Amino acid sequence: MAEIPTLPRNPSVYLMTSSRLLVMAFVIVLLAGCAGRELATREEPGELSIDRAMILAEAKRALGTPYRLGGTTDRGLDCSGLVQRTYSRAGIRVPRTSRQQFEALPRVDEARPGDLLFFATAGGGKPSHVGIYLGDGEMIHAPGRGRRVTTTALALDYWQERFLGAAAPAP
């Protein structure tokens, strides 16, 4: 006949086990909270508004422009300067910085071409980068010093892990 195992008489064993479980649960919750939002997109072929078509045309014209911190001209653009200039030329005013844009503009669950995509690239979970969703899983953005306005695939883990949300200033 099998013996029934006995439990240790030392209560500190239970306390250590409970503490470990509590710490593990806390770490799991913390890691889940650090995960970014899912980057969801919606394609509507042939259904772009005039505003969105103008935004995308202006953003494409900026391709190849050098990156320049604080830049808003053909001599150089930073990410939020690209957005501000592109939207301004389509007749839509947006705030200057990516953080201001993220806080002020109406959020959407699914990005459509012409919408803004926000990322926490500088750590701390706050918006520090913005791009314009081009469609087909790509965005146009000003990536940083020494580079030029370009397109990039959103399927890259880098963007997926840092995505904060999307906004739709255009109708």
Q: Find the CATH number of the domain harbouring 155.
A: 3.90.1720.10
163 tagged catalytic = no
CA separation for the pair 159, 81 (Å, rounded): 20
Number of alpha carbons in the 13 Å side-chain half-sphere of residue 10: 4
pLDDT, tens digit, 9 for 90 and up, residues 68-94:
999 999 999 999 999 999 999 999 999
| 4 domain residue, yes or no | no
pLDDT of residue 135: 96
| 104 domain residue, yes or no | yes
165 tagged catalytic = no
| 41 domain residue, yes or no | no
Number of domains in the chain: 1
| 143 domain residue, yes or no | yes
The residue from 39, 54, 77, 79 that is catalytic is 79
| 10 domain residue, yes or no | no
pLDDT, tens digit, 9 for 90 and up, residues 100-109:
999 999 999 9
| 55 domain residue, yes or no | yes
Bridge partners (DSSP) of residue 139 are: 133, 152
| 31 domain residue, yes or no | no
- Model confidence at 27: pLDDT above 70: no
The residue from 85, 112, 141, 162 that is catalytic is 141
141 tagged catalytic = yes
The residue from 129, 130, 131, 159 that is catalytic is 129
CA separation for the pair 3, 10 (Å, rounded): 21
Domain assignment of residue 148, given as a range: 50-167
Confidence of residue 149 (pLDDT cuts 50, 70, 90): very high
Confidence of residue 169 (pLDDT cuts 50, 70, 90): very high
Say what the pTM is.
0.77
By the 10 Å C-beta count (0-12 exposed, 13-18 middle, 19+ buried), 143 is classed as middle
CA angle 36, 38, 39 (to 5 degrees): 110
| 23 domain residue, yes or no | no
Identify each DSSP E strand in the chain by its residue range: 72-73, 76-77, 107-108, 116-119, 129-135, 138-141, 150-153, 163-167
